[in-house]
Amino acid sequence: MRFHVLTLFPAMFESPFAEGVVGRARDKGLVSIHAMDIRTFAHDRHRTVDDYQFGGGPGMLMKPDPLFEAVESVRQPGAKDIPVILMSPQGRVLTQRVVEELAELDEIALICGRYEGVDERVRQRLATDEISVGDYVLGGGELAAMVVIEAVSRLVPGALGSFESAQDDSFTTGLLQHPQYTRPAEFRGWRAPDVLMSGNHAEIERWRRRESLRRTYERRPDLLESAPLTEEDRAFLAELGE
């Protein structure tokens, strides 16, 4: 998976991806991250990347020309177009489903806005997708792009080690994940549930499924509307509701 990032602050992408899951995936050659300085594609003497907005008003907008040129520079001649994602609070909200969809791609370009955002023609004519990381406004698209890179990279086959798994992660199953415990079995008088140490795999699975349903019911009942549920799940949820 290859990420091209268009940013005014390429150095921001160094240390967050030097370690952890993405760091390892990069070392294994599964993921690569190319942060490009948009300013390189500004040709005037001052390397201008922003300008006043037509119609007046406070704040600056990112000019379209350096952004178009930057995207064009990563397209190999004759190769098919790379999906271009504009990071924007007005985009579709990032969910695990969207992350799974992006993980199917070989290559994406991520545009990080700054100031008041980007010229509308970037949104209309350059971006093929627009993604928001939530209903709040950041100072720039860099942290949002990093969220996309990290969430997508861990789904690239081979990125997670054999002891890690994305399979029963929250949202992947449509539910929140069950509570988890590790040693010591008793800590400051608080015992981990005995069932987890029973060695009875069927019972453990049943307990995990139920706790996952309970958590989701308590914290994110909205997820239950679209989660795949069995008859047994539904019966358990009905009990919770009583």
CB of 168 to ligand SAH, least distance (A): 27
99 touches ligand SAH by CB under 6 A: no
Total residues at interface with ligand SAH (CB under 6 A): 19
Please identify which of the residues 89, 114, 142, 214 carries the catalytic annotation.
89
Binding segment (CB under 6 A) for ligand SAH, from list 7-15, 35-43, 113-121, 188-196: 113-121
d(CA 125, CA 72): 12
Is 186 one of the annotated active-site residues of the chain?
Answer: no
Could you say which of 15, 44, 56, 137 contacts ligand SAH (CB under 6 A)? 137
Is 221 one of the annotated active-site residues of the chain?
Answer: no
> By Cβ distance, which residue is nearest to ligand SAH?
113
Yes or no: say if 185 and 51 are a contact pair by the CB < 8 Å rule.
no
CB of 148 to ligand SAH, least distance (A): 9
5 touches ligand SAH by CB under 6 A: no
Is 154 one of the annotated active-site residues of the chain?
Answer: yes
d(CA 117, CA 140): 8
Could you say which of 89, 178, 196, 212 contacts ligand SAH (CB under 6 A)? 89
The site for ligand SAH (CB under 6 A) is made up of 87-90, 112-114, 116-118, 132-134, 136-138, 140-141, 144
Tell me the catalytic residues: 89, 116, 154, 169
